Structure 1
C-alpha cells in the first residue's frame, strides 16, 4: 500500500463545486465514494488510485459528496460524521493525493441518471482516464449506477475501472465507518484507531465559554463539535495542533454535569501553555480514553480529580509513540 510518509508536497486542491475544477486535476485518476472516516478500507481504494496515477504520471483526486447522502434522505437521523470536509482534506493530502472534489449533494443531484453522471461529470468535467471505486459503490438516480455499470461504461468510452474488494481487519471483520462510529460512541479509541489506521481527530474554531476552567486553575480551549457527534462523553488524553505548534492536553467532552448539564462541548486544557487561542482553528487528536464524565460532591473534589487527570494524561502521552505512518504524515502537515 502507498506509504503516506513518502508523499510529496505538490500543491493540493480542495474543490467545493463542479464549476471550479482546476486544469491540474483533469485528465487523471479519480477515486469515488463517501470516504467518511478515510479508514483502512477507504485507504485501499485510494492506494489503488495513487498507484495508477503515479505509474502514468497523472493527477489523482478523490470525489466525495457533502452533506452525507444518508443525512439528505433521512434528516431526522443525521450521520455522525467522522471526517467532515476539513479533516477529510487533511487526510487526503497526507496520503499523497493531488486534490479532493467535494460535490454538493441534494435531492436534485441525486436525481441525475447514472449515464449522465459518467458523461457529464467524469468525462465532461474531469476527463478521467481511470476510476477506482469500492465493491459496494452506487451512484445516480435510484442508485442505478453500480460498479459493473461503471466498468461497462469504461470499456465503451475508453477509461479503465478498478473495483476494490471489501477490506477486513486482522479479526477478519469488515472495516466500516459504522463500526468506527460505534467504537467512538463507546469510548473505545483503541478499536477506532485500529480501524481508521490513524488517531481520530476533530477540527474546529476555539470559542469563548463560561471561563469556569480558568476560575478552577485549568483554562480550556473550547470547541463546539457537530450536533451529530456521538463521541462518548468523558475525559481524554489528547494532542492539540494550532498552526505548526503541537501541544499535549487533557480534554473533556460532554455536558458539564458539575455545573449546567448543557449542550455538549469539547474543553481542552493544554499542558504547559499560556496564551489566547480564541478565533483560531485547532485540531484535537484523541490519543487515549481516561474516564467517564461525572459529577463530584463539590468543586474541591472536582479540582482534585482534574489534577489526577492531568497527571495521567502526561503519563499516557509521554509513553505513546508517534503513531502510524499516516499519523506522522498528518503531524508534518499543519
Structure 2
C-alpha cells in the first residue's frame, strides 16, 4: 500500500478532475470497522479505475456543535491527533483526502448543496460508501434516500455498510474505543484497533527536571482532549533507531512539579540515552501500570518512578520487545 495521500483542504480539488470512489466519516482512531470501509473503497476504486477518496472533518462535528451550544462537556475525547489520522488513512491506501473544516458554513449547508458542491463538483464522485444511518446537511436533514435520488440524477452509485462487528458479534466503533482508552484497557483497545494504541509527535523541550533526577524524558504534546486515561504505562518507542526501544511513559499534567499544566506525554527510555529533540516519534502503549499521582515531595516521586521503570523491565523480560 502506498504511504502518501494528496490532502485537499478546499474543494473542488485544484489539480484533479479524476472521478472518485468516496467514503465520508470522522475516522477517529481508524479502528477495524474503519479499516473494513477503507478496504472496500480501495477495492472498488481499483476495479473501476477511480481515485480512492475519504472526506473527513476537523474539528469533529460533535465538538463543533458542543461548543456552539456552549456545552463543552459534550466534546468527544480525541483518539488520534489529526496528523496520526491522516497518516493512517494514507497507510491504508487512500489516494485523496478531502479535509473539510467543520465550521458554521459547513454546519449550515443544505443537504442538496452538500451533495452538489462537495460530492459532485468537489470530488467528481461516481461511487459512494456510507453507513446506513449517515446524515448530512443543515440539521442533519439529508438521508440515504436523498443520496440515492441525487446519484441517479448526477451519475453516482450509493452503497451502504452496516456497523462492523468483531468475531463475538460486538460492534466495533469509535465510542467503544474511547471507553476502552478512558479506563486504560489496552487489551480491548488493541482488539478494536487491530494493533496496539499509539500516539506520535515531535519530541519537544520539557523542563529538564527528569534529567536532573536521573530519569531524562522525551516529551511529546498530545491533543488536550486525549482519549487515553492519564497515568503511567509500559511503552515501546519507534522512530529513533532501527529497532523499537523499551520505555516507561507518563501521560498527564505533572501534578507534583507543575500546576495548571497542559497535557504532556513524557517517555523515559530504559537504559538508553538518545538525542531525539525535534524527531517524529511513535509511542506504542503496552501495559497500564498506575494512575497519575501528586506526590508530597521529589524523593517519594523518584521512588515511584524507579518502581515504574522496574515494572517496565519486568514486562520486557517476560514479553520481549
TM-score (norm 2): 0.88
Could you tell me which of 69, 73, 94 is aligned with 2:61?
Answer: 69
SS at match of 2:76: coil
* 1:294 corresponding residue in structure 2: 293
For the pair 1:249 / 2:247, whether they are aligned, the reply is yes
Determine if the alignment matches structure 1 residue 191 to structure 2 residue 183.
no
Match of 2:30 among 26, 33, 38: 38
Instruction: Note if 1:232 corresponds to 2:229.
Output: yes
Give the aligned partner of residue 114 of structure 1: 111
1:196-232 CA-partner distances (Å, limit 9, x unpaired): 2222222333222221211121100112222212421
Instruction: Quote the residue 1:59 is aligned against.
Output: 51
Q: Name the counterpart of 1:102.
A: 99
Structure 1 stretches lacking a partner, 5+ long: 1-6, 323-334
Whether contact under 8 Å (2:41, 2:129) holds in the other structure is: yes
Please tell me whether the aligned partners of residues 44 and 164 of structure 1 are also in contact (alpha carbons under 8 angstroms).
Answer: no
Q: List gaps (5 residues or longer) in structure 2.
A: none
Give a deviation string over 1:151-186, Cα, whole Å, max 9, x none.
222133221111000112333232221221121111
Alignment partner of 1:281 is 2:280: yes
Q: In structure 1, how many angstroms separate the alpha carbons of the residues matched to 2:54 and 2:240?
A: 25
Structure 1 residues 126 and 257: alpha-carbon distance in aligned structure 2, compared to 1, 3 A threshold:
closer
Give me the whole-angstrom Cα distance separating, in 1, the residues matched to 2:260 and 2:194: 33
Say what the alpha-carbon RMSD is for the aligned residues.
Answer: 2.4
**Which residue is equivalent to 1:14?**
7
CA distance in structure 1 between the aligned counterparts of 2:233 and 2:7, rounded to whole angstroms:
31
Per-residue Cα deviation, 1:37-59 (whole angstroms, up to 9, x for no partner):
11122222222111211212322
Report deviation, 1:234. Answer: 1.2
SS across alignment from 2:125: coil
Post-superposition offset of 1:11:
4.6
Q: Distance in 1 between matches of 2:138 and 2:57?
A: 15
Cα-to-partner distance string for 1:239-260 (whole Å, 9 max, x where unaligned): 2233775433210012334333
Q: Which residue of the partner structure matches residue 316 of structure 1?
A: 315
Partner Cα distance (1:66, 1:191) in 2: 26
| 8 A contact 2:42–2:94 mirrored in 1 | yes
Aligned length: 314
Partner of 1:152: 149
